[in-house]
Structure 1
Amino acid sequence: MKQHILVVGAGFGGVWSALSAARLLDRHERNDIQISVLAPQAELRIRPRFYEPDVHTMKASLDALFDVVGIQFVQGFADSIDTTSKQVGYHDASGARGTLSYDRLVLAAGSQLMRPALNGISEHTFDVDEIEQATRLETHIKSLKNLPDSPARNTVVVAGGGFTGIETATEMPARLRAVLGENANIRVIVVDRGPQIGASLGEGIRPSLIEASDHLGIEWILNASVDSVDAGGVTLSDGQRIESNTVIWTVGFQASPLTQQVLGTRDRQGRLHVDGNLRVLGQNDIFAAGDVAYAATDTLGNFAAMSCQHAIALGRYAGNNVAADLLGVAPTAYSQPKYVTCLDLGAWGAVYTEGWDRQLKLVGQEAKELKSQINSVWIYPPAADRATALAAADPSIPVA
């Protein structure tokens, strides 16, 4: 019977884990180890683009790619991990249950948006976390043209001024005008707890963010949070009322709840602590990649962020090392010292920085061209050609 590497998740971490494991097995001419990917769909959903229009196109099929490199795809939603029997339980869309045994497991189940327990949040807010929810938001925006002209119709409130909130907000004026007309009296308001615009992103980005916000007409309400939401708008913690039919929630990401079923140390976002080879601390047979892994990127105290930039590299290393573990060959320690930020700022352009201290390198249209290249080419999976796909999974390839 073949030994089995099971990868849970088909996001950036999962796809690149599976490809990298296949690469190492190929290099050692081993066909006695099966690689399987368990996920709801055989597609890589391009989550960093969900703030854009036409979100239903932001995905890439994985069937041909997996076939050409010999990866088995199992369609289902993982819901349990038994580390003693080394089995993962799952259910399919109809509710039918199944289990998969593993010799080695790569947990790459991603993260999800967690809304706080505030009045009206579940019923009356949108998000761009999953493609279905982002599509729901797009359908809603298009339907606004059927409503009478009013402040509520013309106003979008974005809760959260972090990376996702900023990219969502700065894209929104163009999306609203495409539906409501160039002369519509639109408002886009970002509500953020921070004391300054873009407080979490540092001093290097702030001037560009302020300039872009002024250019696009984005309003910021700082030192504030949402207290409640209803069909007609939001009430802030200071009692301020904003009339809006479109409230978008962008804060509160947590690692997949599956991490809770693995004995180990977790950070405040639920990510499992891993060693330098991405093996979960305290587990012999489980590795982690992507948003479920709390991994040191260097020796300076920096840790991987919940981003495709880190998920791709984490996947390449985790897949390589899980295969190396079964092959009995030396692993490759995870290292990703280069960190970059490329923040889309809508029609104004973008801003690109390098380093954890975010040193400004490109702004405006120059940065926008780079962002477009990243979003439309770099983060997509390789072509369904065996040699090309396996070469692309080499962990030594720099992501940024």
Structure 2
Amino acid sequence: CLGSDSCPGWEQTLVSQSVPVLPMVSFSSPHSLLVLLPLISSAFVPSQHHRPVSRAPPTTTTTYPMTPSSSPTSDAADASDGTSSPRAPPRVCVLGGGFGGVNAALTLAGLPWPDDCGPRPEITVVDRDDRFVFLPLLYELCVDAASMEEVAPTYASLLGGAEGVRFVRREVTGVDAANGVVHVSKVPSSTEAGERGTVPYDALVVATGAQLDLGTVPGAEEHALPFYTVEQCVELRRRISVLDQKR
């Protein structure tokens, strides 16, 4: 009951549990069957205070709300006209478009939502890339055994059919938990307008994943080729092609 007065104590932290579920997304090829295993089954956990992650510079130019409301509305009667004010949809911001972030967004969007829990949440997924990468099959893209859309579909196609879910391609620069705002900046390769902006939220999911660090292994930065993104996959395929031509 996200945002419902009947569910006191809910706050801005989501927890995930590894519970097997049925496949949520699939494509035409058997190679590209996506089985999203982590299930966000316990939605919001009680907490006594917010914990700011980081603070971003206050200079922002663009706001990306799904609705103009930024604070909960009351079901109490309006003193001016005697009518009750509709409750604003709770806004959930998901940082990161990997397995955890995508599954959190799709699972939350697909949950049954009783009328007494108020409007369904509006979910915003933020990621600096425009494609979800199914890492277990990335090698098949490298050897031309699968297509780009099978291994790395765009977030637009992946999330487009989910009710109340949208995608914003931006890089996160900070989180102001006290004010419920995520600070974002334009991705260098993005053509969207707006250099800096904010995404307001009522609940925040942090699913930014792991960051590759070759510096921890001596010699890796100079001689190793990472294999974690579509761009790195394309580069590996190019280098393999060069070696084949030298045979």
What's the TM-score, normalizing by structure 1?
Answer: 0.34
Tell me what 2:159 maps to: 66
- Output the amino acid matched with 1:49: L
**Which of 222, 233, 237 is 1:123 aligned to?**
222
- Output the amino acid matched with 1:36: T
CA distance in 1, matches of 2:120, 2:109: 12
Q: Report SS of the residue matched to 1:51.
A: helix
Written as runs of structure 1 = structure 2, the 5 A alignment for 1:1-400 is 1=69, 2-24=89-111, 26-29=112-115, 30-31=118-119, 33-52=121-140, 53-54=143-144, 57=148, 58-68=151-161, 69-94=163-188, 96-116=195-215, 120-147=219-246, 149=247
Cα deviation, residue 123, structure 1? 3.5
CA distance in 1, matches of 2:147, 2:128: 16
Tell me what 2:17 maps to: none
Cα deviation, residue 51, structure 1? 3.0
1:114/1:70 CA distance change after superposition, 3 Å: same
Whichever structure has more strand as a proportion of its residues is: 1
Q: Which has the higher contact order (CA 8 A, sep 6+)?
A: 2
Q: Report SS of the residue matched to 2:125.
A: strand
1:22/1:71 CA distance change after superposition, 3 Å: same
Alpha-carbon RMSD = 2.4
Structure 2: which 5+ runs fail to align?
1-68, 70-88, 190-194
Contact 2:113/2:120 (<8 A) preserved: no
Cα deviation, residue 63, structure 1? 1.8
Q: Report SS of the residue matched to 2:188.
A: coil
Contact 2:109/2:121 (<8 A) preserved: no
Q: Report SS of the residue matched to 1:48.
A: helix
Contact 1:10/1:42 (<8 A) preserved: no
1:85/1:48 CA distance change after superposition, 3 Å: same
CA distance in 1, matches of 2:103, 2:217: 37
CA distance in 2, matches of 1:56, 1:139: 16
1:121/1:56 CA distance change after superposition, 3 Å: farther
What's the TM-score, normalizing by structure 2?
Answer: 0.52
Contact 1:7/1:36 (<8 A) preserved: yes
Deviations 1:155-211 (A, max 9, x none): xxxxxxxxxxxxxxxxxxxxxxxxxxxxxxxxxxxxxxxxxxxxxxxxxxxxxxxxx
Cα deviation, residue 40, structure 1? 2.2
Tell me what 2:11 maps to: none
CA distance in 1, matches of 2:119, 2:168: 19
CA distance in 2, matches of 1:118, 1:71: 40
Q: Report SS of the residue matched to 1:60.
A: coil
Q: Report SS of the residue matched to 2:208.
A: coil
Cα deviation, residue 122, structure 1? 2.2
- Output the amino acid matched with 1:91: S
Deviations 1:239-268 (A, max 9, x none): xxxxxxxxxxxxxxxxxxxxxxxxxxxxxx
Contact 2:126/2:169 (<8 A) preserved: yes
Cα deviation, residue 82, structure 1? 2.4
Contact 2:121/2:164 (<8 A) preserved: no
CA distance in 1, matches of 2:172, 2:202: 17
Cα deviation, residue 103, structure 1? 0.9
CA distance in 2, matches of 1:71, 1:84: 24
1:56/1:93 CA distance change after superposition, 3 Å: farther
Give percent identity, aligned residues only. 29
Q: Report SS of the residue matched to 2:92.
A: strand
Q: Report SS of the residue matched to 2:91.
A: strand
Cα deviation, residue 56, structure 1? 6.5
Whichever structure has more helix as a proportion of its residues is: 1
CA distance in 2, matches of 1:76, 1:124: 31
- Output the amino acid matched with 1:48: P
